[in-house]
Structure 1
Amino acid sequence: MRSLGLCTILLLLLLPRSVDAQPTARPDSVSPPVTRSWLVRPATVRVAVPVVLVAMGYASRNENFLDELKEYVRHETHEKFPRFHTSLDDYSRSAPLVASYSLFALGMKGERGIVPFTACFGLAHALNTGLVSNLKRLSATRRPDSPTDLSSFPSAHTADAFLTATLLHEQFGRGRPWLSVAGYGVATATGAMRMLNDRHWLTDVVAGASVGFLSAETVWRLYPVLARHLPGHLGQKLLLMPTYAPGGTVGAVLVLR
């Protein structure tokens, strides 16, 4: 259960460190101010929901209603799209990342510079890859199209797509909602294509999206803390280099000169 433990660590990292103290009521106040419990704060909800979805997907390995649900969705999908096949999902998984660097090239200002953004991508990609590979090994879930292939859960393509979409949202989408919609739209389409290609179950796709989102959010929010412990001029010694891998994966690496 080491991967589930990693998900728990993600939850603890993103939860508020302490509950805010209730503000003192003004003398002329009719009633004391209403404060929200940390259990219903947005930061808690946005972490707890993906963690629960990953846990549910993991539980679908056994014979239960979740297993029946994913079988039903697969049956309905292939009844409506019996001849669907595309390799576009091999490329769309990286589309939000390509869009981010294209916006940098066009001079668009974002939340952080290109070096911090690339560092966030590298760290988030490493965390995402570790979680996905360990979950695949622990769950040993058969693929819909190949019962002998036990690497179905979770979907790595979908995890990559939602990781890059989340970084696009954090970097450029705060003041430009259309970019966030486009990024998450492409990520959702990637997950849908994995199901239509009969490579993944619904639960694989949902869990992959959750892992990718959590990986990006964890690194994005912890990076400022890590950056404060780096030497002041380290950014001037870093070289950004694009990388390409079989299957259409596009990425980047930082080289210390």
Structure 2
Amino acid sequence: MYLIKITVFVILMLLFVGSICKAQNRDVEKENDGDKSEAQENTVCDVDPFYKISHKEVIVPAVLIVYGITETILADNYQLLNYRIAQGMANHGKITIDNITQFVPAISVYALNIAGIQGRHNLLDRTMIAGLSGLFIGTIVNTLKYTTKVERPDKSAMNSFPSGHTAIAFLGAEFLRKEYEEVSVWYGISGYAVAVGTGMLRMYNNKHWFADVIVGASVGILSTKLAYRVYPFLRWRFNKKRNTSERIFFCPYYDGKQGGISCSLQL
């Protein structure tokens, strides 16, 4: 019976991924209308630092976060999907490979680059984006974990909501998709497949409720999307300050009678 419920979960996640990809199609088509020969040379400096995230990019993750929070709040009073899936997955051995698979999508970005397959950004920019994404999910996930204090299905701790493993996996999946969407769509699909598998294993191992996984996945994706929008602005601000400082010149002088420092600003 629990296999049917697992299938429902997979279908929900595939619809989730499909809606994310569909929301990005117009943006990708617009980018491809330009000079395709420059696709591999694209950097964050080419992105408008004031570009705003489209509501189409966040509506599905936002809805799933609301659903997950609602499921968690009502779980004690109503036997909702959280409990039904947890009961269906009880009484079996554990597969702890999810401790590794959570990192596979993000590591794949660097592995592909080492293999000679160039992504969207250079090493520094992609690492800064990944680090910024990690900062976002670390803040959000840990804040929720230690304020909601939801008990895990196996009763091992009071920090079940949301799933950190799933958040990291989906952060990596979206990171992989964004870096290699112009090379092949299959890189993103593969990353999301691993992320979905990680989320399923968190429930299979009785470590998380269904709502934990749904919210963790949404937080991971939204954190990555936010990082891709915030980093260009930070880079632009840094370059602006650096360029301004380079236009200010200081020069000491001494004419035999008096000395000092002259300052000139190049406009």
Q: What TM-score does the superposition give when structure 2 sets the normalisation length?
A: 0.66
- Aligned counterpart in structure 1 of residue 87 of structure 2, from 75, 83, 107: 75
Q: Is the 8 A contact 2:151 2:159 kept in 1?
A: yes
- Aligned counterpart in structure 2 of residue 91 of structure 1, from 83, 90, 100: 100
- Aligned counterpart in structure 2 of residue 108 of structure 1, from 117, 132, 155: 117
Match of 1:60, SS? helix
Q: Is the 8 A contact 1:58 1:139 kept in 2?
A: no
User: In the TM superposition, what whole-angstrom CA distance separates every residue of 1:75-100 from its partner, at most 9, and x where no partner exists?
Assistant: 1233xxx3231111001000011111
Distance 1:160 1:55 in 2: 20
| Greater shift in the superposed pair: 167-176 or 51-60 | 51-60
Given residue 125 of structure 2, which amino acid in structure 1 is its aligned partner?
P
Q: Is the 8 A contact 1:61 1:139 kept in 2?
A: no
Distance 1:145 1:151 in 2: 12
Superposed, which structure 2 residues align to 1:189-228 within 5 Å? 189-228=197-236
Distance 2:57 2:181 in 1: 17
Distance 2:55 2:159 in 1: 30
- Residues 96 and 66 of structure 1, relative CA distance in 2, 3 Å threshold: farther
Given residue 114 of structure 2, which amino acid in structure 1 is its aligned partner?
A
Residue ranges of structure 1 left out of the alignment (5+ in a row): 1-41, 235-257
Q: Which residue of 2 aligns with 1:60?
A: 71
Q: Which residue of 1 aligns with 2:192?
A: 184
The number of aligned residues is 189
Residue 144 in 1 paired to residue 153 in 2? yes
Given residue 102 of structure 2, which amino acid in structure 1 is its aligned partner?
R
Residue 198 of structure 1, CA deviation: 0.2
Residue 49 in 1 paired to residue 57 in 2? no
- Aligned counterpart in structure 2 of residue 126 of structure 1, from 135, 142, 151: 135
Residue 176 of structure 1, CA deviation: 0.5
Given residue 63 of structure 1, which amino acid in structure 2 is its aligned partner?
L
* Bigger fraction of residues in helix: 2
Residue ranges of structure 2 left out of the alignment (5+ in a row): 1-52, 243-267
Q: Which residue of 1 aligns with 2:48?
A: none
Residue 153 in 1 paired to residue 153 in 2? no
User: In the TM superposition, what whole-angstrom CA distance separates every residue of 1:125-174 from its partner, at most 9, and x where no partner exists?
Assistant: 0111000001112221110001x621000000000000011110000133
Residue 66 of structure 1, CA deviation: 7.2
Given residue 56 of structure 1, which amino acid in structure 2 is its aligned partner?
Y
- Aligned counterpart in structure 2 of residue 171 of structure 1, from 176, 179, 184: 179
Question: Which protein is bigger by CA-based radius of gyration?
Answer: 2
**Could you list the runs of 4 or more consecutive aligned residues of structure 1 that deviate by over 6 angstroms after TM superposition?**
none
Residue 52 of structure 1, CA deviation: 2.2
Match of 1:152, SS? coil
Residue 223 of structure 1, CA deviation: 1.6
Superposed, which structure 2 residues align to 1:9-28 within 5 Å? none
Distance 2:73 2:114 in 1: 48
Q: What TM-score does the superposition give when structure 1 sets the normalisation length?
A: 0.69
Q: Among all aligned residue pairs of Structure 1 and Structure 2, give the percentage whose two residues are the same amino acid.
A: 31
Distance 2:148 2:79 in 1: 13
User: In the TM superposition, what whole-angstrom CA distance separates every residue of 1:207-247 from its partner, at most 9, and x where no partner exists?
Assistant: 00000000000001222222112248x9xxxxxxxxxxxxx
Given residue 108 of structure 2, which amino acid in structure 1 is its aligned partner?
A
Given residue 184 of structure 2, which amino acid in structure 1 is its aligned partner?
R
Match of 2:119, SS? coil
- Residues 67 and 115 of structure 1, relative CA distance in 2, 3 Å threshold: farther
Q: Is the 8 A contact 1:60 1:66 kept in 2?
A: no
